[in-house]
Structure 1
C-alpha cells in the first residue's frame, strides 16, 4: 500500500512560503497576508480559486468608496491579490492585467529650509538626534539608517554602505565628517551593550538569507551588529529566536513629531522630510543632479528631478517678473 500524501498546507501558509521563497521582506509578508485575509472575509470566506475579476474589483471598490483608502493603499491590496492568483494559485488568467489600477496623486515633497533643518536638529538629541543627523547628512531613508550594521560604516573613507536599499540595491553615500565623532562614541556604548548580551548568553543578531547556516558564529560578531539596536530583546517572528533587533522606526517618528510641535512648524515634516531636504539643499548648493541621484539611490534621474521643483529659484532658475 502506498503511503498517504501529506495534507495540503492551508492557503495562507502557502502564501507565506511563496513570499519567503521570493525573499520578500517581513513587512511585505505581513501586508500581503492581511489583505488576502480581508479579501476572503469580505466575500463570505469563499475560496479565492472560486472568485475572479468581479470579486477583486468589488473588494477594491469597497476600499475606495466605503473605507476611503488612498490610491497607494488600494494598489497595495491589488498587488497582494495578484500575487495570490499568480504566484500561489498559479492561475494565469486574462483578466489579471485588466483589474483597475488606482492612479496615485503626484505630490511635491515637503522640504525644510536650511535654517529650519538646523533648528530641528538642535531640538533633537540622544540616539534619535543622531539618526536625524544621518538622515539629513547622508540622505538615508529611515529604515536604511536603522538597518545599518557596524561593518557598513567606513570612518577612514567617510562612507556608508547601504545594503539592499529600495529595490534590493546596494549603494554608497557619504558619512558627514562632523558626525564621525558622535557616531564613534555611540558605537562604543552599543559595543558595551553587545558584550553584556554575550555574557548573558545572547548577542546573536539576525543575518539575511542562509548566512547564519554558512557562518554559524557571524551573528555574534561585532561587525554584524546593528548600529541602532533595540533597547530590549525580542522574539524573531520567523525563527522564534530571542535576539536584539534594530530600533523601532516608530520611536524616531514620535521623537521628530514632538520636536516639530515644540518648534511650531506648520509644515508636516516627517523623518523622510530630512532626506528630501538633503537632496534639495545639495541642488541649491550647485551639486550635479546625477551625483545627487547616485547618493539617493534613484534608478532614474527623473525621480531625482522632482527636487528641482521645490528649489527657491524654481525648476529652471526662473525669476518671477514681480521680482524684476
Structure 2
C-alpha cells in the first residue's frame, strides 16, 4: 500500500495529500517559508501516528502530537502553536473537514518576554565587526527597523534615494509600508547596487532566467524579471534552483536568488562574539534596538508603530519598558544611603 509520503510519479493521478496542501498554499499566495513549514509539520504529524491518514484521526491525535512537541521535544510555545496552525489548516482548508473538536485542542500560551535590546554603543561595536554584504544588511536592519527577510527581499525599485525612504513590499501580514532611509546608508547602498548590477549584467550575458517574480507577474509582464528595477538589492553570489516552478514554463529554473538569511545570521553572531557583547544577539535584535532607540530619542509611539509595520500599537508598547531608568524608574534605597 502506497504511503502518503511517497514521491510523485509521472503517471496521471490525483495529487497526494502533501501535494494538495502545497497547491492550496500556493494558490492563496502564502510565502515559501510558510509553505515549507506547514508541509513539514503535516509530514511530522502523519509520521508520528504511523502514517495514518488525517481523515482517520481527530482531536486526540492532534493533542497527542502537540503534547509530544511540548513534553518530549520541549519546543517553545510559538513553535507548538505553529504546528497546531499547520495541522488545522490541513484539516479545515485542504480536507474540508469541520472541526467540532477544535476547542478541545489546547493553545499553548506564549510567555510575555521583553526583547533583547542593545545599547547604542553595543550596536556601534557590533556593526564595526560585521563585514561584507551581510554586514551592510545588518546596518540596514538597524537603520530602518526592517525584518531580516524584508531586507533580503528588497528590490532596486523600492529604494528611494531622492525621497530618503524604503518601500517594504509584502511585509508580515502581506502589507506594504514605508520606512526611513538613513543618510549614512545612501553611499553604501549605492555601492552595493553597483555590485548587484555587475552580477545582473553577467547573468543577462549568460542568458540565464531572470529574477523570481511573485503572483504570476512574470506572465503579465514577460520582461520584468530581466529588468534592472526588479533585481534584488542583495543578490546571492551563487545561483540555485528555484523551489517554485516558473509561471510561464512550469519548470524549476536556476536563478540568482537573494542573499541567504543564514549568511547574515552567521555574520551577526560572529560580530557579537568579536565585540564581546554578553547578550544573545541575532539580526532581529537590531530591529528591537531600532524601535527602542527611537522611543528613547522622543519619537511618538505611533510613528514607531508605522515604521515597524505593527498592526496594533500594543505590540509596539513592549518597547516602552526602556523608557524607565533602572527597574521602572524606582530609586533603590541602597542608592539613597
Q: TM bucket by the smaller chain?
A: over 0.9
Identify the match of residue 277 of structure 1 among 289, 295, 303. Answer: 289
- Which residue number corresponds to residue 222 of structure 2? 216
Q: Which runs of 4+ in 1 moved over 3 A?
A: 321-324
Tell me the number of residue pairs that the alignment of Structure 1 and Structure 2 aligns. Answer: 318
- Which residue number corresponds to residue 125 of structure 1? 131
CA gap of 1:23–1:162, structure 2 versus 1, over 3 A, is same
Does structure 2 conserve the Cα–Cα contact (< 8 Å) formed by 1:219 and 1:225?
yes
Does structure 2 conserve the Cα–Cα contact (< 8 Å) formed by 1:110 and 1:267?
yes
Identify the match of residue 152 of structure 2 among 141, 146, 150. Answer: 146
Q: Which runs of 5+ in 2 are unaligned?
A: 1-11, 246-251
Identify the match of residue 256 of structure 2 among 223, 227, 244. Answer: 244
- Which residue number corresponds to residue 305 of structure 2? 293
Identify the match of residue 10 of structure 1 among 11, 16, 27. Answer: 16
Q: Which runs of 5+ in 1 are unaligned?
A: 1-5
SS at match of 1:160: strand
Q: Distance in 1 between matches of 2:164 and 2:68?
A: 51
Verify: 1:307 aligned to 2:319, yes or no.
Answer: yes
- Give the CA deviation at 1:69: 1.2
1:111-144 Cα shifts (integer Å, max 9, x gaps) = 0001111111111222112111111111111111
Does structure 2 conserve the Cα–Cα contact (< 8 Å) formed by 1:32 and 1:77?
yes
- Which residue number corresponds to residue 3 of structure 1? none
1:81-137 Cα shifts (integer Å, max 9, x gaps) = 101110011011211233111111110000000111111111122211211111111
- Which residue number corresponds to residue 158 of structure 1? 164
Does structure 2 conserve the Cα–Cα contact (< 8 Å) formed by 1:308 and 1:315?
no
Output the TM-score relative to the length of structure 1: 0.95
Does structure 2 conserve the Cα–Cα contact (< 8 Å) formed by 1:230 and 1:244?
yes
- Which residue number corresponds to residue 69 of structure 1? 75
Range moving further from structure 2, 264-273 or 94-103: 94-103
Q: Distance in 2 between matches of 1:157 and 1:248?
A: 28
1:232-261 Cα shifts (integer Å, max 9, x gaps) = 111111111111010001000000111111
Q: Distance in 2 between matches of 1:28 and 1:13?
A: 15
CA RMSD of aligned residues (A): 1.4
Does structure 2 conserve the Cα–Cα contact (< 8 Å) formed by 1:108 and 1:310?
no
Verify: 1:31 aligned to 2:31, yes or no.
Answer: no
